[in-house]
Amino acid sequence: MGLAAFSGGGSLLLFGAFLILAPLGVMRLNLPEAQAVIWDGALCALFFVQHSMMIRQSFRRRLSAFVPSCCHAAVYAIASGAALTAVVLLWQTSPTTVFALRGWLHWLPRVFSALALGVFVWGVRALRVFDPFGRRALWAHLRGQPLPQLPLAVRGPYVWVRHPLYSCMMVLIWSVPEAGLDRLLFDVLWTAWIVFGTRLEERDLVAEFGDYYHRYQRIVPMLIPWRGPAGRRLQAS
């Protein structure tokens, strides 16, 4: 559990600094700009493949032949943390500036970032059980107890969108006052991956919650809260 928390938690802190502040520039490879952009795209692809593959139930069934199921979430957190840390530490910046906000507009993205962070915390609190490092499964195993299934959270920001944490991530990705070619590539790739990955995740949610999740999908938008707090209709039914 300690390794999962260190790898997963540490990588999230680094990633937060990368998103809100700037690339850390820990390892500069001095590549030509075109090669640096290709390198950055490969780093993103590495994380996308690792994250999307390991979170699927089909992969976890195969993993059970080598790792107990109670450790799957912890192994996933360790692997995701390593891949995300590689993205942050090995990222190469581009000298080409795509856009830069000046004057008071420079602070506008920071306002959106602060709002997104606030909604993210609201979303985590609405879940009531937030376990990104697999502690629940390990504790249940050590106590000889089955891991209880968590109910679908339809409260807080989840009455506005089905995936508010991903929505906040997208706001954080784009809320920068200045972006080079490398950051534009990052924003586009990660936005596309979030949308694609969310659709894949919903297949597992439909399999887990059945018709109730189908109703949730029909009533509440996936990422953009264009219907307002529509989930309250589901709560009232």
Cβ contacts of residue 124 below 8 Å, gap of 6+? 130, 165
DSSP per residue, 183-217: HHHHHHHHHHHHHHHHHHHHHHHHHHHTHHHHHHH
Determine the Cα angle at 122 with ends 118 and 128, to 5°: 150
- CATH entry, 2-236, from 1.20.120, 3.30.70, 3.30.9, 2.40.30: 1.20.120
Cβ contacts of residue 214 below 8 Å, gap of 6+? 206
**pLDDT above 90 for 147:** no
DSSP state of 23: -
Chain segment 176-210, per-residue pLDDT in tens: 999 999 999 999 999 999 999 899 889 889 988 99
DSSP state of 69: G
Mean pLDDT computed over every residue of the chain: 86
**pLDDT above 60 for 2:** no
Q: Rounded CA gap, 232 and 237, in Å?
A: 9
Cβ contacts of residue 145 below 8 Å, gap of 6+? none
pLDDT of residue 138: 64
Half-sphere exposure of 106 (CA within 13 A, CB side): 5
**pLDDT above 90 for 158:** yes
Q: Rounded CA gap, 19 and 23, in Å?
A: 8
Chain segment 57-66, per-residue pLDDT in tens: 777 777 777 7
What H or E segment, with its residue span, contains residue 100?
strand 97-100
Q: 133 pLDDT band (50/70/90 cuts)?
A: low
Q: Could you give the angle at which helices 72-90 and 33-54 cross, rounded to 10 degrees?
A: 170
**pLDDT above 70 for 1:** no
Q: Which of 152, 156, 149 is nearest to 126 (CA)?
A: 156
**pLDDT above 80 for 72:** no
Q: 224 pLDDT band (50/70/90 cuts)?
A: very high
Tokens of 140: 């249940």
Q: Rounded CA gap, 216 and 231, in Å?
A: 7
**pLDDT above 60 for 141:** no
**pLDDT above 70 for 6:** no
Q: 232 pLDDT band (50/70/90 cuts)?
A: confident
Chain segment 18-37, per-residue pLDDT in tens: 888 777 777 888 899 999 99
More reliable by pLDDT, 1 or 165: 165
* pLDDT above 90: percentage of residues in the chain: 51
pLDDT of residue 48: 94
